[in-house]
C-alpha cells in the first residue's frame, strides 16, 4: 500500500518548514547572513540539524529561500501601501516610504538580503528580489506620468 500524507501531516511539515525559515530570518535580523548557520537555526527552530537539511539540502538553499520569502513579504507590503494611497504620487511615496521604514527598522536583515558577502552563492535569489522590487517601483513611477520618460 502506498503511503499518502494526510492533511495533518502536510500541515505539520509546512509548520516545521515555516519555523525553520522564521528561525533563519531571526538569525539574519540579529546578525546578518553570517549568523544563518544550520546548527543555530535548528536550535532556534527547535528541530535537529538533520531536519533542517531535510527541508533545505544546503545552506545556500536555506538562504536563497530566506531571501525569496523576505522579498515576497516586502513586495506585498509595498503593494498594500501603494494600493491604499489615493493617487499615483501618493502610491509612489507610500512604496518608497515602506521600503525605507523596513530597511531602517531591520538594517542587518536588509543588508543581508541586498549585499552582505556570504559564503554560498545566492546571486540568483538576490537578483530576483531586486528585479521584483525595482519592477514594482518602476510601475509606480510609470503610473505617475510626470516622472516617467
What are the pLDDT digits (tens) for 19-66? 999 999 999 999 999 999 999 999 999 999 999 999 999 999 999 999
Note whether residue 123 is domain-resident.
yes
Residue 1 has pLDDT above 70, yes or no: no
- Answer whether 67's CB lies under 8 Å from 129's CB: yes
Q: Which helix (H) or strand (E) element contains residue 131? A: helix 123-144
CA distance 104 to 91: 20
Residue 101 or 3, more confident: 101
Residue 148 has pLDDT above 60, yes or no: no
Q: Which domain holds residue 94?
A: 7-144
Note whether residue 149 is domain-resident.
no
Residue 10 pLDDT class (50, 70, 90 cuts): confident
Note whether residue 117 is domain-resident.
yes
Whichever domain contains 58, its CATH number is: 1.10.357.10
Beta carbons within 10 angstroms of residue 78's beta carbon? 23
Give me the pLDDT at residue 2, please: 64
pTM of the model: 0.89
Nearest to 132 by CA among 57, 76, 91: 76
Note whether residue 83 is domain-resident.
yes
CA distance 33 to 113: 8
Residue-wise DSSP of 11-72: HHHHHHHHHHHHHHHHHHHHH-GGG--HHHHHHHHTS-HHHHHHH-SSHHHHHHHHHHHHHH
Angle (deg, nearest 10), helices 7-31 and 38-45: 120
What are the pLDDT digits (tens) for 90-147? 999 999 999 999 999 999 999 999 999 988 899 999 999 999 999 999 999 998 776 5
Note whether residue 106 is domain-resident.
yes
Please give the average per-residue pLDDT across 75-103, as a whole number.
95
Note whether residue 1 is domain-resident.
no
| Cell numbers found for residue 135 | 519592477
* Total domain count, the chain: 1
Amino acid at each position: 500500500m502506498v503511503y499518502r500524507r494526510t492533511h495533518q501531516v502536510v500541515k505539520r511539515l509546512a509548520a516545521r518548514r515555516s519555523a525553520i525559515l522564521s528561525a533563519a530570518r531571526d538569525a539574519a535580523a540579529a546578525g546578518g547572513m553570517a549568523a544563518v548557520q544550520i546548527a543555530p537555526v535548528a536550535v532556534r527552530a527547535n528541530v535537529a540539524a538533520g531536519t533542517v537539511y531535510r527541508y533545505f539540502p544546503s545552506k545556500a538553499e536555506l538562504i536563497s529561500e530566506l531571501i525569496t520569502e523576505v522579498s515576497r513579504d516586502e513586495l506585498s507590503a509595498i503593494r498594500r501601501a501603494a494600493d491604499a494611497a489615493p493617487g499615483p504620487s501618493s502610491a509612489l511615496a507610500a512604496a518608497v516610504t515602506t521600503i525605507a521604514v523596513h530597511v531602517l527598522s531591520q538594517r542587518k536583515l536588509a543588508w543581508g538580503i541586498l549585499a552582505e558577502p556570504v559564503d554560498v552563492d545566492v546571486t540568483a535569489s538576490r537578483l530576483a528580489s531586486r528585479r521584483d522590487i525595482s519592477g514594482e517601483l518602476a510601475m509606480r513611477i510609470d503610473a505617475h506620468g510626470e516622472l516617467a520618460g
